[in-house]
Amino acid sequence: MSIISFPTNIWITRMRWEQMRMDLTHTSPMSGASQGVVYGLPRWKVNIEIDRMNESDTGAVKALLLKLKGQINQLALWDIGRPTPKGTISGFLTLGSAADLGDDTLTISGGTNGQTLKAGDWLGVGEGQYQQVVMVTDDATVSGGSITVNIQPPLRSNHTLGSDVVYDKPKALFRLANSRQGWDYEGDKVTGFTLDLIEDWQA
């Protein structure tokens, strides 16, 4: 099994991000009251469409599909719509305190007083090249050399003080949801490149 990085020379026509939550709701037939239960960790789901290309430009896309080897290899991917924060944060960031499985608030050290993270900005949390990718859910501002941010989904593992926090193209790992991959020819154009991906964080 290998990890394949998404090529920077491929132009994506459409990209859709979804959060697949493992929730179950039960409604009492007697009282009508409902209760929601979480029974698993949320995963990101991404759909990519690459459409209407000249055949001469399709080599990188075809090669990517074959390199993934169906559901065997993983794809390292970031959100092309917001690769870097809309906030003004810069510099080297680390966790300012330990964070535990299930936490949805992070204290982060680094940045300059007055710098910001905005709702919708992405962060990668954890050591190594690939982290858990989470979204900032409320605007936050650096004060006293640290910034406290609310995130979703919650952390799925424990992280120690000083663990890396990445804000420049944080990458999550995905597998194809279906091993069948192909493309269509329409005259001198190639269409139908689609990658349906589900997060798989076990590298």
Residues 107 and 123 in one domain: yes
Write the CATH number for 107. Answer: 2.40.30
Closest-CA residue to 134 (of 41, 38, 40): 41
**Does 83 fall in a domain?**
no
128-153 pLDDT per residue, tens? 777 899 999 999 999 999 999 999 99
**Does 87 fall in a domain?**
no
Residues 101 and 145 in one domain: yes
**Does 138 fall in a domain?**
yes
Residues 8 and 70 in one domain: yes
Residues 131 and 113 in one domain: yes
Residues 65 and 32 in one domain: yes
Write the CATH number for 56. Answer: 3.30.200
Residues 70 and 126 in one domain: no
Residues 11 and 55 in one domain: yes
- Locus of tokens 């962060």: 123
Closest-CA residue to 152 (of 117, 105, 116): 105
Which residues on neighbouring strands pair with residue 83, listed in sequence order?
none
Residues 142 and 101 in one domain: yes
- For 133, the domain range is 93-166
| Below-70 pLDDT ranges, the chain | 26, 37, 39, 203
- Our count of domains for the chain comes to 2
Residues 8 and 60 in one domain: yes
Residues 157 and 183 in one domain: no
Q: What is the pLDDT of residue 31?
A: 76
Radius of gyration of the chain (CA): 20
CB 74 within 8 A of CB 173: yes
**Does 88 fall in a domain?**
no
